[in-house]
Amino acid sequence: MLKIEELREIIEIIDESSIHEFTYETEKAKIVLKKPKINKVEMIPETTQAQMSQNVAVSSEENLPPITDNVSKQKERSATDSQVNFDYEIVSPMVGTLYSAPSPESEPYVTVGSRVTKDSIVCIVEAMKLFNEIEAEVNGEIVEVLVENGELVEYGQPLYRVKKI
């Protein structure tokens, strides 16, 4: 049987990979790990089919920006990088759902202006039903919060910007 540390290591590897299901079976036990399949839904204002095709034609002719999605949000965030003075970015160590507070009724772990130490918990990332506390890793002050509570985050995605103290 696998030791708990070996199981944690397997979970991390699967979490960072494109594998959606993993099964480990012995005579005494069976372990099945599954990642939730994420269906990305994009909200589009109500328009008729004719209006949609007309909008596509116009946007390609006039070089209008595409419909906003996560990629364009990240581009907008990077455009504001020069406006915020920061020394360090706290990034997500895994793919999962970010929770900014320990429970829905609680206050967020950190907000803009919060002072953090290396071992301060800044949020929780839920991955495969495991709740992982994310630590600041530096001493400083939160100068920008880049994600919202309940938002799906990717591996390496910046979550918070910190001005070191």
Interval 126-154: pLDDT, tens? 998 899 999 999 999 999 999 999 999 99
* pLDDT for 102 beyond 90: yes
Both ends of the chain: CA-CA distance in Å? 46
The span from the CA of 116 to the CA of 164, in Å, is 9
For 107-114, what is the mean pLDDT? Answer: 95
69-164: CATH number: 2.40.50.100
The span from the CA of 46 to the CA of 92, in Å, is 34
Closest C-alpha among 22, 29, 27, 21 to residue 3? 29
User: pLDDT category, 1, cuts 50, 70, 90?
Assistant: low
Highest mean pLDDT out of 17-21, 77-81, 97-101: 97-101
pLDDT of residue 137: 92
For 70-85, what is the mean pLDDT? Answer: 54
Q: State which amino acid sits at residue 84.
A: V
Q: Which residue has the higher pLDDT, 16 or 74?
A: 16
The span from the CA of 71 to the CA of 77, in Å, is 10
pLDDT of residue 40: 46
Domain boundaries, the chain: 4-34, 69-164
Q: Phi and psi dihedrals of 77, rounded to 5?
A: -65, -40
User: pLDDT category, 100, cuts 50, 70, 90?
Assistant: very high
Our CA angle for 117, 133, 111, nearest 5°, is 55
pLDDT of residue 64: 44
